[in-house]
């Protein structure tokens, strides 16, 4: 089957990308910015409608192609080829993912996010790597050529979003906020009372998350709550408490439930180390007497 990356015509490529499930829009000839006249609102006007796409490129055949991947698709943008080689060495399966070479020798690597997981395009957790796609940040695509003649080429062909390889779990966790350390709220290393108190403290943080951070805050605390499941916390109870908190913060129920379930599942495989929060008893008689006297004062 012919794919977008085999086309030399920008119009043919744009139509093929749209057929795979990616919204597209025209770029100014020889540049990486949206065409100001054809799409004055930039990537907000990205479309998969063939008639719209045809109108754009018939009006300006020399336009490049911008791809706005859907929210479940993460594009790792490597400006530095050494950053790509380093990360591929850590996660060899990345080498099989659809990959586009950029004019400067970098790469665009397309991956699928797990259901319910979303990332911010502003995350800077990996040296030399920007996050694109996810319905937020576009990438320039083949057969676009810049003013100096350099172009974009596919090394591993693009496929439909649902056919993309899922991002390795450990890599995804590096891009998410780390789970919080357990707060010493009640006595007992893993008593039901303490587990419930920890869960409620996590839920309070989720409910109070400001707009723009709500989804990632939910995931962060869901992973933490999942780390309590091996200690006896009910996963069903944790899910309901976290989903209710996320909805109070303003997230839709479906998004909240998907994110909470993913975080709890991941966290369950990474149990939190719960130290016994009971104060240690003084070792000798004199120290015990002094300790009691201090409590009486």
> For residues 246 and 206, is the Cβ–Cβ distance under 8 A?
yes
> 99 pLDDT band (50/70/90 cuts)?
very high
> For residues 218 and 211, is the Cβ–Cβ distance under 8 A?
no
> 181 pLDDT band (50/70/90 cuts)?
low
190 vs 93, higher pLDDT: 93
Angle at 146 between CA 142 and CA 152, to 5 degrees: 25
Domain that holds residue 58: 4-167
d(CA 179, CA 269): 13
Instruction: Supply the angle between the helices 214-226 and 192-207 in degrees, to the nearest 10.
Output: 170
> For residues 35 and 45, is the Cβ–Cβ distance under 8 A?
no
**128-167 residue pLDDT tens:** 899 999 999 999 999 999 999 999 999 999 999 999 999 9
Of 167, 195, 228, which marks where a domain is finished? 167
Residue 212: which region, alpha, beta or left (left: phi > 0; alpha: psi -120 to 50)? left
Instruction: Supply the angle between the helices 235-249 and 214-226 in degrees, to the nearest 10.
Output: 160
pLDDT above 80: residue 85: yes
Same domain flag for 11 and 152: yes
Q: Where residue 131 sits, what CATH number does that domain have? A: 3.30.2250
- Residue 177: per-residue pLDDT: 78
How distant is the alpha carbon of residue 262 from its chain centre? Answer: 12
How many structural domains are present in the chain?
2
DSSP 100-140: EE-TTS-EEEEEEPPTT----TT---STTEEEEETTTB-EE
pTM value is 0.81
Q: Residue 213 contacts by C-beta under 8 Å, 6 or more apart in sequence?
A: none
- Residue 182: per-residue pLDDT: 57
**24-62 residue pLDDT tens:** 999 999 999 999 999 999 999 999 999 999 999 999 999
Q: Dihedrals φ, ψ of 133, to 5°?
A: 80, -150
Same domain flag for 148 and 8: yes
Same domain flag for 221 and 130: no
3-state secondary structure of 207: helix
**218-232 residue pLDDT tens:** 999 999 999 999 999
DSSP 155-169: EE----GGGSPBPPH
pLDDT above 80: residue 280: no
> For residues 116 and 251, is the Cβ–Cβ distance under 8 A?
no
Q: What end-to-end distance do the CA atoms of the chain give, in Å?
A: 84
Same domain flag for 150 and 234: no
Edge-to-edge, what's the strand order for the sheet holding 64-68? 23-27, 64-68, 139-141
Same domain flag for 149 and 30: yes
- Residue 222: per-residue pLDDT: 95
- Residue 289: per-residue pLDDT: 43
Share of residues in the chain with pLDDT > 90 (%): 74
Same domain flag for 157 and 19: yes
pLDDT above 60: residue 288: no
Mean pLDDT of the chain: 88
Instruction: Supply the angle between the helices 235-249 and 253-268 in degrees, to the nearest 10.
Output: 140
Share of residues in the chain with pLDDT > 70 (%): 87
Same domain flag for 144 and 90: yes
Of 141, 167, 193, which marks where a domain is finished? 167
pLDDT above 70: residue 290: no
Of 149, 167, 185, which marks where a domain is finished? 167
183 vs 164, higher pLDDT: 164
Q: Which neighbouring-strand residues pair with 25? A: 66
pLDDT above 80: residue 102: yes
Same domain flag for 215 and 92: no
pLDDT above 90: residue 123: no
> 80 pLDDT band (50/70/90 cuts)?
confident
pLDDT above 90: residue 126: no
pLDDT above 80: residue 293: no
């Amino acid at each position: 089957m012919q794919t977008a990356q085999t086309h030399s015509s920008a119009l043919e490529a744009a139509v093929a990308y749209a057929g795979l499930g990616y919204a597209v829009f025209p770029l100014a000839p020889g540049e990486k910015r949206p065409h100001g006249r054809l799409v004055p609102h930039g990537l907000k006007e990205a479309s998969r409608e063939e008639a719209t796409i045809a109108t754009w490129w018939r009006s300006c055949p020399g336009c490049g192609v911008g791809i706005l991947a859907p929210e479940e698709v993460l594009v790792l943008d490597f400006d530095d080829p050494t950053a790509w080689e380093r990360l591929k060495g850590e996660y060899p399966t990345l080498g099989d993912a659809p990959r586009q070479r950029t004019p400067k020798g970098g790469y665009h690597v397309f991956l699928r996010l797990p259901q319910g997981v979303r990332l911010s395009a502003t995350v800077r957790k990996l040296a030399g790597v920007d996050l694109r796609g996810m319905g937020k940040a576009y990438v320039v695509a083949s057969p676009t050529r810049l003013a100096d003649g350099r172009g974009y080429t596919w090394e591993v062909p693009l496929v439909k979003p649902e056919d993309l390889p899922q991002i390795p779990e450990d890599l995804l966790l590096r891009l998410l906020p780390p789970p919080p350390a357990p707060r010493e709220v009640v006595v007992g290393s893993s008593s039901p009372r303490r587990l419930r108190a920890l869960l409620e403290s996590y839920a309070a943080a989720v409910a109070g998350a400001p707009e723009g951070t709500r989804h990632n805050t939910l995931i962060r605390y869901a992973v933490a709550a999942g780390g309590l499941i091996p200690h006896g916390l009910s996963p069903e109870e944790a899910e309901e408490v976290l989903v209710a908190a996320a909805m109070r913060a303003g997230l839709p129920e479906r998004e909240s439930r998907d994110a909470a379930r993913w975080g709890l599942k991941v966290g369950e495989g990474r149990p939190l180390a719960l130290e016994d929060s009971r104060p240690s008893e003084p070792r000798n008689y004199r120290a015990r007497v002094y300790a009691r006297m201090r409590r009486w004062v």
